[in-house]
């Protein structure tokens, strides 16, 4: 038997007081004149974010808003798993598991909850190593097995849909491949990327160009992932100790991976950025979340195999320009949509568009 316990976020005041002391004592580095985002995090934006964090941001308000959603914890395989479980009032509602990625958390989906509950029972867990789940890094397969237990044995959902992106993409693909009798269909915002092991002679010209794009992307943007996969402990000391450093590490990705127009604040509010950062800070999960890259890098995963479960894919302009041919190579593709707005965190940045696309797919004939 599994003991499901109601959960409320209630950060101790001493943690918040310590945070304010650390923010006040930030030792700011020098920066080139008019650096902007050209060298990484924009120092002008980060200083404005930290100033707001100290003088305008209200964690207790955000905590209350998050606690409006029913949250729980349960122990599975000696790990504590935190999850949201929002039941629809619709007696014919399907069940949908939503899986976040890095550097976000369950908070990625807070805007879409009220848009989905007319038609779906929602289960939104914190991946092991993230948020309020145990600080243990798991492979895609390991997390998938825990989530399958959560869905089938803890909550009693024998058949369900799943959707995810980033790390959540890998976990969702593993779920589909390991539990095809339970996962009726999946929706993804990426399907994985060429890694150089492919036989290029069997790839289309469009796929080859995509592979070249990804190779260049790794040179420009991939240093973080290499560090996570090889030396996560090295940067963990600084990121777990300095809230300003943690904010810099995370917010740079929200800027780089958003819809490529305007400024970061045209797409995310400071409150949204800080609430996501705060969940990492108060749970002290930046290290375990980064280690996830390392444990996944050294062994074959079911997420690396082609998915036979019906799959919908939406590619947003802030993400890599995945061609349809590549998606067809990786999954049993039933719907492929190139979106005109949104990025890596589409459920947060463009919730209406993301929900419409996901809902259209799961209601389509392809998954019946």
Q: Which residues are catalytic?
A: 166, 293, 344
Strand 331-338's sheet: what is its strand order?
5-7, 71-76, 79-86, 120-125, 94-99, 160-164, 183-188, 307-315, 331-338
At 290, give phi and psi (nearest 5°). -70, -35
Judge contact between 358 and 326, C-beta under 8 A.
Answer: no
* Burial (Cβ within 10 Å: 0-12, 13-18, ≥19) of residue 350: buried
Judge contact between 164 and 171, C-beta under 8 A.
Answer: yes
DSSP 308-359: EEEEEEEE-TTS----HHHHHHHEEEEEEEE-SS--TTHHHHSHHHHHHHHH
Say how far apart CA 207 and CA 216 lie, in whole Å.
Answer: 14
Supply 18's token pair: 């310590």
Nearest Cα residue to 251 out of 78, 45, 57: 45
Say how far apart CA 46 and CA 284 lie, in whole Å.
Answer: 21
Say how far apart CA 367 and CA 289 lie, in whole Å.
Answer: 33
Judge contact between 158 and 152, C-beta under 8 A.
Answer: yes
Residue 43's alpha-carbon distances to 16, 28, 314, in angstroms, are 24, 9, 33
């Amino acid at each position: 038997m599994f003991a499901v316990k109601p959960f409320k976020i209630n950060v101790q005041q001493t943690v918040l007081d310590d945070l304010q002391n650390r923010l006040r004592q930030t030792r700011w580095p020098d920066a080139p004149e008019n650096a902007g985002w050209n060298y990484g995090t924009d120092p002008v934006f980060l200083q404005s974010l930290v100033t707001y964090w100290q003088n305008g941001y209200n964690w207790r308000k955000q905590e209350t808003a998050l606690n409006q959603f029913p949250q729980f914890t349960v122990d599975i395989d000696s790990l504590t798993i935190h999850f949201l479980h929002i039941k629809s009032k619709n007696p014919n509602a399907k069940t949908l598991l939503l899986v976040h990625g890095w550097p976000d958390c369950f908070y990625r989906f807070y805007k879409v909850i009220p848009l989905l509950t007319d038609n779906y029972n929602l289960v939104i867990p914190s991946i092991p190593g993230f948020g309020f789940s145990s600080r243990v890094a798991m492979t895609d397969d390991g997390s998938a097995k825990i989530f399958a237990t959560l869905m089938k044995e803890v909550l009693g959902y024998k058949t369900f849909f799943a959707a995810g992106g980033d790390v959540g993409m890998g976990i969702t693909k593993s779920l589909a491949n390991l539990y095809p009798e339970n996962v009726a269909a999946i929706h993804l915002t990426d399907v994985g990327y060429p890694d150089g092991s492919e036989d290029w002679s069997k790839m289309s010209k469009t796929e080859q160009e995509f592979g070249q794009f990804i190779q260049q992307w790794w040179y420009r943007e991939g240093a973080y992932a290499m560090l996570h996969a090889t030396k996560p402990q090295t940067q963990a000391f600084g990121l777990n100790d300095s809230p300003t450093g943690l904010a810099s590490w995370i917010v740079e990705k929200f800027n780089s991976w958003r819809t490529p127009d305007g400024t970061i604040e045209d797409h995310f509010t400071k409150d949204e950025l800080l609430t996501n950062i705060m969940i990492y800070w108060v749970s002290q999960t930046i290290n375990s979340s980064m280690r996830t890259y390392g444990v996944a890098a050294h062994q074959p995963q079911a997420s690396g195999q082609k998915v036979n479960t019906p799959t919908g894919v939406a590619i947003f302009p802030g993400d890599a320009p995945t061609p349809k041919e590549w998606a067809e190579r990786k999954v049993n593709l039933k719907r492929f949509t190139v979106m005109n707005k949104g990025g890596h965190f589409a459920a947060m940045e463009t919730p209406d568009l993301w929900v419409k696309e996901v809902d259209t797919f799961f209601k389509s004939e392809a998954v019946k």
